[in-house]
């Protein structure tokens, strides 16, 4: 009898669970967190009372503290270690019989998910989403404990990875027959102006012991919100199995998703079982056609679109890796304002919301799975199980992301190290495995790789890819020659470097002539040794018109990888904007090139050079005009035109005679002079002390001596000496051979001097890495010679190289085709008189997530930003909210990012204010600093719309 009734109740419950509607619930509130690895933290009975209350997304390391001696490569933050999260989960008794899942969009790293003390699931990559089926472990009608152990101890990363449950978590309670997780796939196999065929494939799974019939209804809703089409299909799903049901639509007059008009359709899917609706899902999609062509770049909806993209890492500056939708949206706002139409998610899948934003904004996306396939993917290279690993994560990425119209490329990885060296051809095999792992779940997009070793093109390793991306220095050229049918996208360009507002005189001699202070000159003359200035890349893209476009490294500065100061700094110098989104001058260079539609006129540097009165200060106008006139205190300093390159200086060595200690192949030393046409000088290999000497025929005042070598100049040890009589020699310059900077450099060496001399010589010392004493070119100038490397800057910027400094106003008026398009000015700022606070949004939503970014500037009595101000600010917030982060973009700062203080850097800082979840109200941010009046700004936080 008892058995009977229990069975009856069980059946009843099952019956109702099968008919109850699936629910998805935000599972981000109410977590307890502990940094450390206490025993038994997964158990139900465990005292977590003292643990920290957190809400996910959460990054346990971003609040610091920074370790000044820590690894700059990963941001000097305490991300390495173990942490635990615990949270209660209540399930209604009436839900018994349901399937229960936890969906994590990303956990860094190696999460193990326990429910009621039992291990329910684990995952082996920090950047891909995963689902844990906790059905077997939960008890209905009772409280359950979810515990997540997170372990980053084995993780290797080339940037700041963050730590913890750093993306959204969702609880899904589904009837036993339900739509599969990420199981909807929408494709548009044919598209014309009149009609698009839309196929909606829905995967269902049946967790019951008997076959079930279901009906799937799909409704397509247009960008205008009107239902465009509807259809219903029936399907039988076998017990404990899956089935796919397909709906085919003919959509009349489809509106295309485009970068200019990101029109989105929605597929509303309804699952009906026994006449009851048990699940509803909305999936957005777009109707668009695109192609990467081998010879003519990227085509979208029948026209060529040049990809003007940026690479972005996943951290959000002072908010760290903890995903925040508004912070990501602001990043895209800032990038789009500059002209960006594309994003490469370097080097991992982004948070799912990033793709929603790109869909809504018309940004095309290169969606990348891995950086390397070794430690950064959480694996030991060469360890078994590669195929399964690749298949698991490709499935996770593609199934989540394949309906986003913004995504146009799948990337299997970046700079996979072993490509060219794998004699067994395993690399090609692996790339094919990777490609196929993507194709299982989507064949509508090309599968690519971010490549970096030109020699890879000599083998067939890359032959199976649909598209190749190439990083830097025209390395794609060799591949292009050998595989002219494979389209190419320049996946990393520039890696230019600068510190916002940090101008130094004189200008650097070469792109990797970095100051000894660990900052990079803001004049935008620097790049990583293995890469180039923006303009050098613009020229490549102009000439190699087959390229689909570029992704600049990087749009924003990010935590970690502070090339060229890997041990001193905590954040990068690569960004076009700094860590908090304040633009460097490069921002206006890209904007002027990428946005011909709106006038850009920007002047640099600042005009506060006290102590340098009368000294020539280089001034640059960044504009999309073709010329500009510069005025200093009302006096014209002349007009500059784009493309007007400076006249060549007289090379004093061109008419000189050259001798040398020895000559290989009988070639005269004069071959290294201008007349030698680049043949260069080579001593005999056994020359014990190679010396190259030039006689200028009479004593000449000198400013610049230029040496060019067959390899990077860093590899040569040498002295440059001067003499009038050939007897007494004075050393003008000496250097040892060095391997710094790593990975590249320049072959040219520019020596500045004030000497007057008739004879000059280069005395070689030991050289490194196969370099031997030799010169390709020797030149000498009476004036400051600027490397020819910088000539393209004259085609994209307007440069006045020596404006004698006097305080006052510098003003630029820009013209296009003779018409004025705009003007701008910078003024010498007086001492800071007050703090100006400018919120990006004064009204935010009190949902516990929304944030306002407030820029603080120190301004003088006339409102000019004080470009050298570095005041330490104390912050306080009154009202229902908190200071979520603050920073000023100084790569060297090790002040905490989430604190009630921040120091201005070059006059500015950004403070992030978050409204608490609740009723909202007024938030007053107050900022004070000694000697200036307290400043405040009022924000209003309102309840989220129902």
Four-point Cα dihedral 100, 106, 108, 109, nearest 10: 50
Least Å distance between CB 503 and ligand GAL? 23
Residue number with CB closer to ligand GAL (415 or 537) = 415
| CB-based contacts of 128, cutoff 8 Å, min separation 6 | 106, 349, 369, 393, 396, 397
Alpha-carbon distance of 17 to 20, in angstroms, equals: 5
Residue number with CB closer to ligand GAL (371 or 466) = 371
Q: In sequence order, what E strands does 585-643 have?
A: 601-604, 616-623, 627-632, 635-641
Count H helices and E strands in the chain, helices first: 9, 54
Least Å distance between CB 491 and ligand GAL? 8
Least Å distance between CB 311 and ligand GAL? 7
Alpha-carbon distance of 325 to 789, in angstroms, equals: 41
Cα separation values, 613 from 141, 609, 882, 913, Å? 79, 7, 45, 42
Residue number with CB closer to ligand GAL (530 or 692) = 530
Phi-psi map region of 632: left, alpha, beta (phi>0 left; psi -120 to 50 alpha): beta
Residue number with CB closer to ligand GAL (572 or 704) = 572
Residue number with CB closer to ligand GAL (531 or 828) = 531
Q: Give the footprint of ligand GAL on residues 835-894 (CB under 6 A).
A: none
Q: Give the footprint of ligand GAL on residues 556-575 (CB under 6 A).
A: 561
Among 127, 525, 553, 764, the residue binding ligand GAL under the rule CB under 6 A is 553
DSSP string of 418-454?
Answer: TGGG-TTSHHHHHHHHHHHHHHTT--SS-EEEEE--G
Residue number with CB closer to ligand GAL (471 or 823) = 471
Q: Give the footprint of ligand GAL on residues 147-176 (CB under 6 A).
A: 158
Among 471, 493, 623, 787, the residue binding ligand GAL under the rule CB under 6 A is 471
Residue number with CB closer to ligand GAL (251 or 431) = 431
Residue number with CB closer to ligand GAL (185 or 414) = 414
Q: Give the footprint of ligand GAL on residues 172-211 (CB under 6 A).
A: none
Least Å distance between CB 698 and ligand GAL? 47
Least Å distance between CB 276 and ligand GAL? 51
- Using a 10 angstrom Cβ sphere, with 0-12 exposed, 13-18 middle and 19 or more buried, the burial of residue 943 is middle
Least Å distance between CB 220 and ligand GAL? 40
- 358 phi, psi to nearest 5 deg: -65, -40
Least Å distance between CB 558 and ligand GAL? 10
**Site pattern 721..760 for ligand GAL (x: CB under 6 A):** ----------------------------------------
Least Å distance between CB 517 and ligand GAL? 21
Q: Contact, 36 vs 151, CB < 8 A?
A: no
Size of the site for ligand GAL (CB under 6 A): 13
Least Å distance between CB 414 and ligand GAL? 5
Tell me the β-bridge partners of 245.
202
Alpha-carbon distance of 90 to 49, in angstroms, equals: 18
Q: Give the footprint of ligand GAL on residues 290-349 (CB under 6 A).
A: 346-347
Q: Which of 846, 832, 838, 857 is nearest to 907 (CA)?
A: 857
Residue number with CB closer to ligand GAL (495 or 787) = 495
Q: Which residue is nearest to ligand GAL (CB)?
A: 495
Residue number with CB closer to ligand GAL (341 or 495) = 495
Q: Which of 361, 179, 368, 194 is nearest to 283 (CA)?
A: 179
Least Å distance between CB 594 and ligand GAL? 21
Among 110, 206, 341, 495, the residue binding ligand GAL under the rule CB under 6 A is 495
Cα separation values, 910 from 7, 583, 872, Å? 63, 12, 13
| CB-based contacts of 55, cutoff 8 Å, min separation 6 | 28, 29, 30, 31, 848
Q: Would you count residue 520 as binding ligand GAL (CB under 6 A)? A: no
Tell me the β-bridge partners of 489.
469
Residue number with CB closer to ligand GAL (144 or 473) = 473
Least Å distance between CB 795 and ligand GAL? 24
Among 205, 279, 492, 550, the residue binding ligand GAL under the rule CB under 6 A is 492
Structure tokens at 309: 């993209």
Alpha-carbon distance of 606 to 898, in angstroms, equals: 29
Among 528, 533, 672, 910, the residue binding ligand GAL under the rule CB under 6 A is 528
**Site pattern 369..388 for ligand GAL (x: CB under 6 A):** --------------------
Structure tokens at 553: 């490294």
**Site pattern 110..149 for ligand GAL (x: CB under 6 A):** ----------------------------------------
What is the 3-class SS of 767-799, one letter each residue? CCCCCCCCECEEEEECCCCCCHHHCCHHHHCEE
In this structure, the number of other CB atoms found within 10 A of the CB of residue 690 comes to: 23
Q: Would you count residue 531 as binding ligand GAL (CB under 6 A)? A: yes
DSSP string of 435-504?
Answer: HHHHHTT--SS-EEEEE--GGGGGSSTTTT-SEEEEESTTTHHHHHHH-TTS-EEEEEEE-EE--TT---
Q: Give the footprint of ligand GAL on residues 394-423 (CB under 6 A).
A: 414-415
Least Å distance between CB 553 and ligand GAL? 5
Alpha-carbon distance of 398 to 348, in angstroms, equals: 12
Alpha-carbon distance of 595 to 506, in angstroms, equals: 31
Residue number with CB closer to ligand GAL (452 or 622) = 452
Residue number with CB closer to ligand GAL (495 or 828) = 495
Q: Give the footprint of ligand GAL on residues 437-456 (CB under 6 A).
A: 452
Least Å distance between CB 173 and ligand GAL? 40
For the beta sheet containing 851-859, the strands, ordered from the edge strand earlier in sequence to the opposite edge, are 834-839, 851-859, 908-915, 881-887
Q: Would you count residue 908 as binding ligand GAL (CB under 6 A)? A: no
Least Å distance between CB 490 and ligand GAL? 12
Residue number with CB closer to ligand GAL (332 or 416) = 416
Interface residue list for ligand GAL (CB under 6 A): 158, 346-347, 414-415, 452, 471, 492, 495, 528, 531, 553, 561
């Amino acid at each position: 009898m008892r058995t009977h009734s229990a069975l009856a109740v069980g059946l009843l419950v099952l019956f109702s669970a099968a008919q109850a509607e699936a629910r998805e619930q935000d599972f981000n509130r109410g977590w307890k967190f502990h940094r450390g690895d206490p025993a038994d933290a997964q158990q139900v009975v465990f005292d977590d009372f003292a643990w920290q209350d957190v809400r996910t997304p959460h990054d346990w390391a971003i609040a610091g503290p920074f370790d000044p001696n820590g690894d700059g490569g990963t941001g000097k933050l305490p991300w390495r270690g173990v942490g635990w999260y615990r949270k209660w989960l209540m399930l209604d008794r009436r839900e018994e019989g349901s399937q229960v899942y936890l969906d994590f969009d990303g956990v860094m790293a190696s999460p193990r998910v326990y429910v009621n003390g039992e291990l329910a699931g684990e995952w082996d990559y920090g950047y891909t989403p995963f689902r844990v089926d906790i059905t077997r472990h939960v008890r209905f009608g009772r409280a359950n404990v979810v515990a997540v152990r997170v372990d980053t101890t084995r993780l290797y990363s080339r940037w700041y990875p963050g730590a913890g449950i750093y993306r959204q978590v969702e609880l899904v309670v589904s009837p036993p027959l339900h739509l599969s997780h990420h199981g909807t796939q929408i494709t548009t196999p044919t598209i014309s102006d009149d009609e698009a065929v839309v196929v909606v494939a829905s995967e269902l799974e049946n967790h019951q012991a008997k076959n079930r019939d279901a009906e799937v209804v799909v409704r397509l809703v247009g960008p205008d919100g009107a239902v465009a089409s509807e259809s219903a299909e029936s399907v039988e799903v076998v017990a404990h199995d899956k089935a796919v049901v397909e709906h085919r639509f003919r959509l009349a007059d489809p509106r295309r998703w485009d970068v200019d008009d990101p029109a989105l359709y929605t597929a509303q899917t309804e699952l009906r079982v026994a006449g009851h609706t048990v699940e509803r899902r909305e999936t957005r999609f777009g109707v668009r056609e695109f192609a990467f062509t081998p010879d003519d770049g990227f085509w979208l909806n029948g026209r060529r679109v040049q990809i003007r993209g940026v690479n972005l890492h996943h951290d959000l500056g002072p908010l760290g890796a903890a995903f925040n939708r508004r912070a990501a949206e602001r990043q895209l706002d800032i990038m789009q304002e500059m002209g960006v139409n594309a994003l490469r998610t370097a080097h991992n899948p982004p948070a799912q919301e990033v793709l929603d934003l790109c869909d809504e904004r018309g940004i095309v996306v290169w969606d990348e799975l891995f950086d390397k396939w070794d430690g950064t993917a959480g694996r030991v290279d060469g360890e078994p199980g590669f195929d399964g690993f690749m298949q698991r994560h490709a499935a996770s990425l593609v199934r989540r992301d394949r309906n986003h119209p913004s995504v146009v490329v799948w990337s299997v990885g970046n700079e996979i190290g072993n490509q060219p060296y794998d004699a067994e051809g395993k690399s090609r095999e692996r790339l094919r495995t990777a490609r196929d792992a993507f194709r299982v779940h989507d064949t509508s997009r090309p599968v690519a790789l971010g490549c970096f070793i030109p020699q890879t093109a000599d083998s067939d390793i890359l032959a199976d890819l649909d598209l190749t991306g190439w990083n830097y220095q025209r390395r794609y050229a060799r591949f292009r020659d050998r595989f002219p049918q494979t389209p190419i996208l320049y996946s990393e360009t520039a890696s230019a470097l600068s510190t916002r507002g940090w101008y130094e005189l004189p200008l650097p001699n070469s792109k990797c002539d970095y100051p000894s202070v660990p900052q990079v000159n803001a004049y935008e003359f620097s790049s990583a040794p293995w890469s180039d200035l923006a303009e050098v890349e613009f020229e490549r893209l102009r000439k190699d018109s087959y390229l689909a476009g570029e992704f600049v490294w990087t749009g924003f500065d990010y935590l970690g990888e502070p090339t060229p100061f890997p041990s001193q700094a905590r954040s990068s110098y690569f960004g076009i904007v700094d860590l908090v989104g304040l633009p460097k001058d490069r921002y206006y260079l890209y904007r002027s090139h990428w946005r011909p539609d709106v006038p850009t006129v920007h002047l640099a540097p600042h005009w506060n050079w006290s102590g340098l009165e009368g000294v020539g200060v280089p001034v640059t106008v960044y504009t999309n005009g073709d010329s500009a006139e510069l005025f200093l205190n009302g006096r014209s300093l002349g007009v500059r035109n784009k493309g007007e390159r400076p006249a060549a200086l007289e090379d004093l060595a061109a008419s000189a005679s050259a001798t040398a200690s020895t000559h290989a192949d009988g070639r005269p030393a004069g071959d290294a002079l201008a007349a030698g046409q680049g043949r260069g000088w080579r001593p005999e290999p056994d020359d014990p002390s190679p010396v190259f000497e030039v006689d200028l025929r009479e004593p000449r005042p000198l400013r610049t001596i230029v040496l060019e070598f067959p390899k990077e100049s860093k590899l040569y040890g040498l002295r440059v000496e001067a003499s009038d009589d050939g007897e007494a020699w004075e050393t003008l310059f000496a250097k040892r051979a060095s391997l710094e900077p790593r990975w590249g450099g320049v072959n040219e060496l520019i020596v500045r001097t004030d000497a007057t001399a008739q004879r000059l010589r280069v005395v070689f010392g030991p050289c490194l890495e196969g370099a031997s004493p030799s010169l390709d070119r020797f030149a000498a100038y009476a004036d400051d010679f600027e490397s020819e490397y910088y000539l393209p800057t004259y085609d994209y910027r307007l440069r006045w190289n020596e404006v004698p400094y006097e305080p006052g106003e510098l003003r630029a008026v820009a013209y296009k085709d003779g018409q004025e398009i705009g003007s701008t000015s910078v003024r010498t700022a007086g001492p800071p008189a007050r703090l100006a606070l400018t919120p990006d949004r004064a009204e935010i939503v009190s949902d516990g997530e929304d944030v306002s970014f407030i820029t603080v500037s120190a301004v003088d009595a006339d409102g000019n930003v004080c470009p050298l101000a570095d005041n330490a600010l104390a912050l306080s917030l009154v009202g229902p909210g908190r200071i979520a982060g603050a920073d000023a973009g100084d790569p060297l700062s090790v002040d905490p990012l989430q604190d009630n203080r921040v120091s201005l850097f070059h006059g500015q800082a950004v403070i992030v204010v978050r409204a608490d979840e609740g009723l909202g109200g007024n938030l007053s941010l107050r900022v004070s600093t000694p000697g200036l009046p307290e400043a405040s700004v009022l924000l209003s936080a309102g309840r989220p719309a129902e």
